[in-house]
Each structure stands twice: as structure tokens, then as C-alpha cells.
Amino acid sequence: MNKSNDKSRNKTRGVAGGAAKKAAVKSAPAAAEGAVSRALFIQTTQVLGAVLAFEFPADAVLSRHFRDNRELGHRDRGFIAETVYGVLRRLRWLRRLAGDKATPRELLLAWFARGEGWPMRNFEGLASATERDWVAAVKAAELGEASLAERADLPDWLAERLLRSFDEAGVLALAQGLNRPAPLDLRANLLKLDRDSLLARLREDGIAAEPGSLSPQAVRLSGKPALQKHPLFLDGSFEVQDEGSQLLGLLVQPRRGELVVDFCAGAGGKTLQLGAMMRSTGRLYAFDVSEKRLAKLKPRMARAGLSNVHPMLIAHENDAKLKRMAGKADRVLVDAPCTGLGTLRRNPDLKWRQSPAAVDEMVAKQGAILAAAARLVRPGGRLVYATCSLLAEENDAVVDAFLAAHPQFRPVAAQEVLDKQGVKMETGERLRLLPHVHDTDGFFAAVMERVADA
């Protein structure tokens, strides 16, 4: 039940989620000021080369590089991370400019020339005379007619899959949204304080923050301040969580004293939200196949002040440990492993690392996990299936197949569930969040209820 093939998604949940993610949220030094040293350029080239091997997730490569080069300052780390992510977002366009066989160094030069708009003087000291001539040619280059996938900076197969759900204009608009860096969202821990109190405290500390437009628990920051040492983070008053992700917890809508299951808990971002909504009462089981991820949940539980969470390691979705809970859960969340393509704002390397074969593998796994999780739901209980994928085969197709095979479950309109909690948005029966429309990660969710026994 990995969250994606490589956990690159990792739910993007923690303030302390690795040096790479901390650095990536910082703005790079202004290129036009000539702030990039030759040494920093060389390090950025090295990191980009390692990332473009696509052997490991980009954030893991960056984290490892920063651990091995602790002398790097905060701004330098930010520059490296943002530059690498910029190249990953526009890799197809850059290869059209620099050539399909362009080296990491050439891709960087092309990115600075066209993506960042550096003037030629910024390349002095970084590039040889021959390279500067090449850069000048890149700056002047005019690209011919491009395919939809090229214009969207997507691999061909992914653009073709998205055309099943969007027209060409829709694919381009979606791609533009995915190619923008994600904002920084927080979730107020309702056990500690409400959202208004969190906003007031952050503003007192000079942190520009506004209430989220969708989730009543969300706070959106105007900038990307470092928060891992902020007193409110250290005492568990907030967690970093995308506003769209927060809506999934609202669809579960757990109540005090209930038995609730987070079937694919990962490091527990949504588990923490569910536990706070339950006011730390009842029993909340966090299942996952990764002992390492569950270990990361335990200190977060303590910081959040939760005593009702029970992490449980399982071998697979049909683990014998689950049998004793069959038909007993009031609510079950299946935040299923998926390709993670809705998180490309945070993990742009995923679009180059996923494949049609990976999608097929995920779809089979999703169906099996959903069916297994459904067995835990009591009559009258609620089942929520969610992914951070944009592909219909991972979303609607999985739910439709499940409902056809399990007539004891009926769909519940997501819009009605959210409306009762003060979330005013048009979703229809199933929740669909899109970066260019809702300014969140891409999410899908379907709510189902097990029909009560006669």
C-alpha cells in the first residue's frame, strides 16, 4: 500500500519532511543580480544530473546532497532546489531548445537563459566563450509548431490519457497549473486552537497568513517562511497540509467516540486531522505496510496531543490482523496508493518517472485495497476512496467497478457532505480538485455508505 511507486508523494505532509522540501519552498536569489557563484552553478549541475537519472525521487536526491554538503547556506539550498524543480517542470520545452541529448549543464544554461531570463552578463564567469555563443543562440531561438504534449510539458502518454477527461484547452490549463509552485498551507489542530487563533498568532509574529478559501481548518501563507522551529509547530498547534488534502478528512467527517480507520495512513497527515476532529476520543487505527512511515507518525501524534491513534503495521491489504475488525468500523478512509500525478506542483519529476505500465499496476492495487477496506465498514458506516491522481482510470473507474461488485454500498454526494460542514463549493457527487481551478493539489474522492441491514 505504498502511496505511489516510490512514495515521492509522501503526502507532502511534514514541516520536517526533509531538507530538500524545506529548501524548495524558499525563493532563489534574483538571477539578474548576478548572485550565482561558479561553485553554486557547479553544485546545481551535479544535483540536476543525479535527478535526471530518475533512479530516485528528486526530493530524496536533494535531501542527500544537502546532508552531504552541510556548508551550504539557506539561500544556496533554496537556489539549487528551485532551479532543479524549474528544469523538471519545463524539461520538454528545454530539450526542444537545447536538444534532446542536452547535458544537465546545457539544460541549466538554457533554463537560465529562457526560463529565468538572465541577461548575457550573468553568464560571464559561469560559461566559456563558446558556451556563451551557444546561450545567445538559445536566447534567439524560435521553436516551430509543437504537439499538445510538448506545449503542456508532459510525456506523450500522459497528455493522451488526460485528453480522455479534458479537451486540449483544458489539458493546457491544467498543465500550466501543475507547472506553478504550490503555496504553503497549514491546518489548525483543533485540539489546540481554532483557525482564527492560529491566524492571529501567526500575524503577531509577522507571518503573512490568510484563511483558506475551501477548508475551515486551513491557513494559507503568503510566503514560504521556515516553520520547523516556530513555537506553534513545536507545540503541535498546526501541521503543514495542502488545503485540498484537508477536504478529504472533512468527507470522512469522523465523530467523537467512533471507530475510524485510516487504511493507508503513510506518515499520518490525514490521521492527525481525523484524530483532532474526533477530539482524541474513540479509536482511530492507522494501517500501513511501511514500518518506517508509521514510526514517523508516533512523534507527530505526541506533538499533536492525540491519545486515540493506534498505528498498526500490516503485511498487505488482506492481513489476518484485519479480520477481527470486519464490519465494525464507523468510517474508513482509503487514501489509496496512486501515481501521484496530482502532486506535480511539488513533485514535478513524477511525470517523467511514471509510465502507462505503472498506471495499470496501480489500478489493480487500488481495486484490491478498496475491496479489502470495505470489509471493515459496519452497516450504516461510511467509506471514502481518495487519490491524488488526475487519471480517470485511477479514480472514477475504480469506484464504478467497486460499486458494481458491491451492491451493499451506495454513493453519497460529496457536495452534500461538505455543505453540511460549511464548505461551499460545487463538486457534484464526487470531489475533483484541480490546481488551476482550486489552487490545491489534484485530488479525487468518492463517498460511499454501506446500506444498513434490514
User: What b/e readout covers 169-201, taking b as 16+ CB neighbours within 10 angstroms?
Assistant: eebbbbbebbbebbbbbbbbbbbbbebeebbeb
Residue 433: enclosing H or E segment and its boundaries? strand 431-433
> What are the catalytic residues?
388
Q: What are phi and psi of 334, to 5 degrees?
A: -115, 90
Residue type present at position 358: A
C-alpha grid cell for residue 258?
467512533
Q: SS3 sequence, 38-70?
A: HHHHHHHHHHHHHHHCCCCCHHHHHHHHHHHCC
Separation CA 314–CA 2 (nearest Å): 12
Contact 359, 352 (CB under 8 A): no
3-state secondary structure of 410: strand
Please, which residues bridge with residue 332 across strands?
261, 383
CA 198 to centroid of chain Cα atoms: 23
Who's near 54: CB < 8 A, 6+ residues apart? 349, 352, 353
By the 10 Å C-beta count (0-12 exposed, 13-18 middle, 19+ buried), 103 is classed as middle
The grid coordinates listed for 98 are 537545447
- The SS3 of residue 412 is strand
H helix or E strand, kind and range, residue 163: none
Residue by residue, DSSP assigns 266-291 as TT-HHHHHHHHHTTT-SEEEEEES-H
Would you tell me the crossing angle of helices 58-68 and 74-89 to the nearest 10 degrees?
A: 160
